[in-house]
Amino acid sequence: MPELKVFNMAGESVGTIELADKVFAAEVNGAVLHAAVKQYLGNQRQGTQSTLTRTEVSGGGKKPWRQKGTGRARQGSTRAPQWTHGGVALGPKPRLYKTKLNKKVKTLAMLSALSSKVADGDMIVVDKIATEEYKTKTMVKMLSALEAKKKVLVVLSEKDEKVEGSFANIPGVKVAFTNTINVYDILNCDSFIVAKAAAEKIEEVYA
């Protein structure tokens, strides 16, 4: 069972927490992580990119010159791809990039992501993340005290508008909840800061 220190918002150690092996010390499966990240990024794409083919570009109805006798290559339209203002050959068209993963693969990917953060020493447990007013300075001090790195993912157990609002203006910081965390965000952050209540809830869900 991995045991991590629990810090307060001032960066002081206030105890320890034992984490479940099944959730935070699982074997990291690189292939499953790759599949999960690929699926997440694909699902973010709108797929609305579109180019005009030669049939969709206006003009080009008249043959530029006669077929034979000019010494030049035969041309049927000024809207062929090799012409300026011509259509695009084999260009992108609207399509869906969405893919699906089955539930077992999703769970395995989440366990691998959480375990990799613990193994790399990037997971920081905080006893309670709270503020009585919207104050960015309070959260900047907390991140500094915890020696957080450039990209930070803060996970809360439940919605807290004041905490969210206080983090909103800090570059590189993203706030998530136990029911909204995803594999990509976990792997993409340098520091994974989790409220103690959120860590317990994650264990409850995945153990």
What's the pLDDT tens digit per position in 144-183? 999 999 999 999 999 999 999 999 999 999 999 999 999 9
Give the whole-angstrom CA distance, residue 192 versus residue 114. Answer: 9
195's tokens: 């409220």
Give the whole-angstrom CA distance, residue 132 versus residue 179. Answer: 24
Q: Average model confidence (pLDDT) for the chain?
A: 95
Helix (H) or strand (E) holding 155: strand 152-156
**pLDDT confidence band for 103 (50 / 70 / 90):** very high
**pLDDT confidence band for 1 (50 / 70 / 90):** confident
Question: What is the model's pLDDT at position 2?
Answer: 83
Task: Flag whether the pTM goes above 0.75.
Answer: yes
First to last CA, the chain: 13
Single-letter code of the amino acid located at 159: K
The mean pLDDT value for 40-53 works out to 96
Give the whole-angstrom CA distance, residue 41 versus residue 68. Answer: 52
Q: What residue spans of the chain are helical by DSSP H?
A: 21-24, 30-44, 103-119, 136-145, 161-167, 183-188, 196-206
| Protein fold of 3-46+99-206 | Ribosomal Protein L4; Chain: A; (3.40.1370)
Question: What is the model's pLDDT at position 114?
Answer: 96
CA distances from 23 to 47, 117, 127, 197, 201 (A): 35, 11, 19, 15, 11
The mean pLDDT value for 113-135 works out to 94
Name the segment(s) of the chain with CATH classification 3.40.1370.10. Answer: 3-46+99-206
